[in-house]
Amino acid sequence: MNATTETLDRLADQTARYARYARGAGGLGSVIGGVMVLAAFALNGFVDLTPPLRGLLAATPLLWLSAKALLRRHYYQAAGTVVAQPSSTERRTRFWMVLLLALIAVIVVGVVAAAMVRDGRAPEWPLLGYALMVGIMPIAAWRWFWSVSDFLVGVLLFCQSAVVLMGGNYPASWMIYAAACAGIAILYGWREHRDYLALRSEICRRGRAE
């Protein structure tokens, strides 16, 4: 009986750890996101952007989200999707973070729209691109941001994409903040990846033992 209980407890623990990678644990997705933040802000701050490079930087949020989805589906949850249920604290924290992003987006889009109406200008594509990216950000956060790393990387990538679409550039001084956020995401992501490798090793050993 004790052996059976220990086996069930071990299986439950491994399942819970595996389920983290459906949402909360980004692993290499967070590492990739951190590297993309560093690259995007470095290029934005120190390089004269050509149209193709500006388009590439504008697409970084989509590229990052796609990389995360592919890693989750074909690597971290390749054995089947198991979704962990967030705790009440995690749900509340995420709700307030998304709400804050939504309020900021409404204010920014409202200011842009009011400025165009006041000046009697027709909608301009750079401003429309900026407003669209800012407006999409809280929607993307509600759908795909599940961890602190996701919010740090996602918000920065969406913000720099919006500025790039408007034809602007972040000043080089932003690299300090971007590097700090990217460093946190890379550190957490690499630790999560190592935890996954340990979990996979445990599962493989159990399979050979059986």
Specify the pTM: 0.86
For the stretch 151-197, pLDDT in tens is: 999 999 999 999 998 888 887 788 899 999 999 999 999 999 999 99
pLDDT at residue 31 is higher than 70: yes
The residue among 124 and 55 whose pLDDT is bigger is: 55
SS3 category, 182: helix
Mean pLDDT on 49-76: 91
Question: Comparing 120 with 80, which gets the higher pLDDT?
Answer: 80
Amino acid at 83: V
Residue 16 has pLDDT above 90, yes or no: no
Is the CB of residue 135 less than 8 Å from the CB of residue 109? Answer: yes
Specify the DSSP class assigned to residue 20: G
- How high does pLDDT run on average in the chain? 85
